[in-house]
Structure 1
Amino acid sequence: MKTTKEQADQDIHDNLVDNLQGLLEKNYDAEAGYKKAMQDAKNSQLKEYLKRQAAQRGEFATELDREIRALNETPKSSGSMTGKLHRTWIDIKSAVSGDNDEAVLEECIRGEKASVEEYEEKLQKNNFPPQVSNVLNNQLDRIKSTLNTIKGLEDISENWG
């Protein structure tokens, strides 16, 4: 039987791992979402940008995987059912939209806004160890930068031909 302190330590550990696993899963979803968006985009420069974003989210997943392994836990290996449903929604929206690139960018914006909210919520509600906090804050900054870039791309996408 565990002491109260041992149980509290285990609960803190489990909460930390659960939060990291959730973010890992979301990054798998984002990586797959960017790959899907890249397939749907028409503009070659946009395709290349989306490819880079998919790679970045793959890097984020690798960083989170490393942090989970450092806690002696096994990382999740794939995304969520919600992410799969979102990619299906992108398929439907792209099929009915007259401007695929704009529809793709709108979905990327929606996804990145959700990522920013999730990272901010987890950072606010949890007391992560400094190393984990640094990784998450760095990723959050990069997601915010991506969100701003995509918003700018959406504004100029109407001029693409």
Structure 2
Amino acid sequence: MKTTIEEAREKSHENLVSNLQGLLEKNYDAEQGYKEAMVKAENGHLKEYLKVRAALRNRFATELSDVIINLNEKPIESGSATGAVHRTWMNIKDAFSSDSDESILEECIRGEKASVEEYKEVLKENENHFTPEITSLITNQMLEVEKSLDTIKKLEDLM
């Protein structure tokens, strides 16, 4: 029989892992979205930028996977069904769009805004449960996404 303290630790651990898995899934979705956008982009500089963003999200996923493994848990291995449905919708929207690069940037902005909000929410909900190392990792990833969002907005203004 578990003590109340053991049950609380177990619940805290499950919550921690669940939040990390959620961020991992979102990074898989973002990476795949950037890869698909890269293929559709017409501008060479935009293609390169999207490639770099996909690689960054891959790095984030690897970092989060490593943390989950260090917590003796198995990381998820792919993105969400919701992300796949969204990319399908974007394929349909793209087929009817007259300015594909601008549409791509608009979707990148929307996606990055959602990512920043997700990171903020996870940090807020878990400020007392994460180790300083995990908090630092998640905060740094969020700051990178915020920088990416600023850059994408500037690129959109140039298009």
TM range (shorter): over 0.9
Q: Residue 129 of structure 1 is aligned with which of 128, 131, 145?
A: 131
The alignment-based identity, stated in percent, is 61
1:151 to 2:153 alignment: yes
1:65: how far off?
A: 0.3
Determine the C-alpha separation between the residues in 1 that align with 2:92 and 2:106: 14
Determine the C-alpha separation between the residues in 2 that align with 1:41 and 1:89: 16
Deviations 1:81-117 (A, max 9, x none): 0110111121111111100000000000000000000
1:68 to 2:77 alignment: no
Instruction: List alignment gaps of at least 5 residues for structure 1.
Output: none
Instruction: List alignment gaps of at least 5 residues for structure 2.
Output: none
Q: How does 1:46-61 map to 2 (within 5 A)?
A: 46-61=46-61
Paired position in structure 1 for 2:42: 42
Partner amino acid, structure 2, of 1:140: M
Determine the C-alpha separation between the residues in 2 that align with 1:90 and 1:149: 21
Equivalent residues, number = 157
Paired position in structure 2 for 1:119: 119
Determine the C-alpha separation between the residues in 1 that align with 2:118 and 2:94: 26
* Secondary structure of the structure 1 residue equivalent to 2:75: coil
Determine the C-alpha separation between the residues in 2 that align with 1:125 and 1:73: 21
Partner amino acid, structure 2, of 1:72: N
* TM-score normalised to structure 1 length: 0.96
* TM-score normalised to structure 2 length: 0.97
Determine the C-alpha separation between the residues in 2 that align with 1:93 and 1:147: 22
Q: What is the aligned-residue RMSD (CA, Å)?
A: 0.6
Determine the C-alpha separation between the residues in 2 that align with 1:93 and 1:154: 18
Deviations 1:65-93 (A, max 9, x none): 00001100000000000110111121111
Paired position in structure 2 for 1:19: 19
Deviations 1:35-63 (A, max 9, x none): 01101110011000000000000000000
Paired position in structure 1 for 2:4: 4
Partner amino acid, structure 1, of 2:100: N
Deviations 1:100-144 (A, max 9, x none): 000000000000000000000110111211110000000000000
Paired position in structure 1 for 2:102: 102
Which of 120-129 and 130-139 deviates more?
120-129
